[in-house]
Amino acid sequence: MALSLVLSFQAIVHFPNLSTLPMLATISIVVDMSASSIFARSNRKVLDFLWILLLLASCAGILYGEYRLTVKGLVSAILAVLAAGASRALGNVIIDRRPEILTHSGRLDKLFFLSGFVITGVCSMHLEGYHKFLGALYVGQKSMFLVSVLSTAVAIVLGKSVLFPLDTFRRREVREDGRVDDGLAILALAGGTGLVSTMLLRRSFTTWIQFLAFFMGHLCIWTRAFVDRKRARRFDGYASVAEAGGLRSMDSEETDSSMLSGDSDKTNVPERGGRRRSIFRSICLGVLLLSVWTAFPTLNFSQRTLPKTPADQLRIDRAYGPPNDKEVVVSMHKESISEVDSLISNLRQIRKLEKAKFRIYLKDADISPDEVKKLTNVDVVTQIPNVGRESATYLNHIVDNWDSLAKHTIFLQATVDHPKELLTRIRDYYDPIATGMLSLGFSSRSCDCHSCGDGSGWRDTTQLFTDINSKQYRNSKKCDDVLLSYGGQFIVSAKRIRGIDKSIYEDLRDALVNEKSWAHQQPYLQGRPDSMGQPQFEHTLDRTWNLLFQCANMDIAWKCPTPMSGNRIGGSITDCQCFDP
């Protein structure tokens, strides 16, 4: 259970769509039901197997419909719910064999888990890296994180936790009711998280497949609980008859006295009162759940108009006539030549890049440019100093080829992130006519322009984002949320590159390659390691490409699928890019 807590913290930090996390908690119930079916002596193994298959199909549908999956988020979330389900199943097996343990459960048990909640939270921060963990909270996820943490803490206190079900270690005859309680808790937390996400933090694009799969899983849970409850009542009826040795006679003295006395009515009064309170609570809960699950899908699927840069304010060079249509620029250091050649060969196989010009900027002084050109069969290989990583390479290309830029330039590192997905992204989204800026990396993180940071611990301590925005829009101080870029891989048009002053690129390049610039001095470094080949400032610059090329639209952060997820169900070619007018 402690492991599940740690992994849950990690999942919250790394999962862009937080409403999916409580939906995935259904997996813990699958694990528990599987263990119950295996260890319990039951004559309905086939029916159990069918229910488990339906729940697995539900979980698979939830994952299939999610289009913003990340490796860390997915692994952490699945392992968290698997660990919670395994803990629950193991506890139930132990209770079945040692029922006397139930007498020791109570508030001390909950206090123990609350202490574990705090301890594992600290461990989670250490696992993620303290600065990274706090960084994730600092840049916009803190609202949803606090909602998740507080709801889990309250759930633990009440004994109705979603991922950490304390009250499931109970007697067998009420265990199925416990699954219904957990199902209701998952339903409430998923709806509440999704509603808060759509209203306060960011739009939550939960797909219709996820909604259908989620409710199919809950229908399966409730159907099984109904069948088991009906079967248990029938068994209890037979057992009570057997214990009584038969029905009492209606004319016995005991029956007469009990019927004539008012004791029966008196004992029924508190039962009736308790039943009324229970019905009232059930009605209130039902109304609340209905309201949440009416508002959540409505807001989720409704179109929200987000602020965009007006066409008349978009700074692009409409008069520029490019000498060629497409050029692929690769920044290479000591990567394997065979890997670079494989990347270029795969790019050439894309029909949209058939006539593209290929250029490699080589930063390895130990290899001859002629040898690299011969082995990769590219058009141009230019050897440059190993400074500033790929950002300096891109700036060099822009500044040195200002008047000969291709209509579209594809900027890549020699070792790209998610190479297979990158090729798919180019095939599916790149429009040789209209594309203005298309990121080929992760595009789901945004930040406040004036206090920008992300979950990796990075901070814009130089206020570079506000400075670039001010230079782009004539000293404008209006700069809200901006889209961050990652991976140093993107496609951009010459119109957008030349839309801002050339001096901006020259100043950024000087900060990277000039050893005496402010980017290599204190107080900017704040004691952090820095070198000309691995400058700290490059981490900031790598995140500004969307802002530099005026494609920081928040719709991309919400709509663009991650490279791992493929395409968004119901999405379009505009989800991940900005078009030139």
Give the pLDDT score at 2: 66
> Which residues lie closer than 8 Å to 160 by C-beta, 6 or more apart?
167, 181, 182, 185
Structural tokens at position 381: 């290989």
Percent of the chain's residues with pLDDT above 70: 72
As a whole number of angstroms, the distance between CA 75 and CA 53 comes to: 21
> Which residues lie closer than 8 Å to 502 by C-beta, 6 or more apart?
399, 402
Give the pLDDT score at 413: 95
Give the pLDDT score at 133: 45
* Other CB atoms within 10 Å distance of the CB of residue 230: 10
Query: Rounded to the nearest 5°, which phi and psi values hold at 113?
Result: -75, -35
Give the pLDDT score at 149: 56
Give the pLDDT score at 61: 93
Give the pLDDT score at 308: 61
Range 6-20 average pLDDT? 77
Range 498-526 average pLDDT? 94
Query: Rounded to the nearest 5°, which phi and psi values hold at 118?
Result: -70, -45
Nearest CA-CA partner of 221 in 176, 174, 278, 266: 176
Helix H or strand E encompassing 482: strand 481-483
- For the chain, the first-to-last Cα distance in angstroms comes to 54
Range 465-488 average pLDDT? 82
Structural tokens at position 28: 């813990």
For residue 335, pLDDT over 90 is answered with: yes
Give the pLDDT score at 305: 59
As a whole number of angstroms, the distance between CA 117 and CA 24 comes to: 20
For residue 204, pLDDT over 70 is answered with: no
Structural tokens at position 57: 């199909």
Angle of helix 263-301 versus helix 253-260 axis, rounded to 10 = 70
As a whole number of angstroms, the distance between CA 493 and CA 410 comes to: 9
Range of weakest confidence among 78-87, 370-379, 499-508: 78-87
As a whole number of angstroms, the distance between CA 343 and CA 337 comes to: 10
Q: How confident is the model at residue 384 (pLDDT cuts 50, 70, 90)?
A: very high
Please give the residue that has the higher pLDDT: either 230 or 142.
230
Query: What mean pLDDT is reported for the chain?
Result: 79
Structural tokens at position 563: 């490279």
Q: How confident is the model at residue 73 (pLDDT cuts 50, 70, 90)?
A: confident
Please give the residue that has the higher pLDDT: either 292 or 162.
292
Give the pLDDT score at 163: 44
Range 373-379 average pLDDT? 95
As a whole number of angstroms, the distance between CA 509 and CA 548 comes to: 13
As a whole number of angstroms, the distance between CA 205 and CA 198 comes to: 8
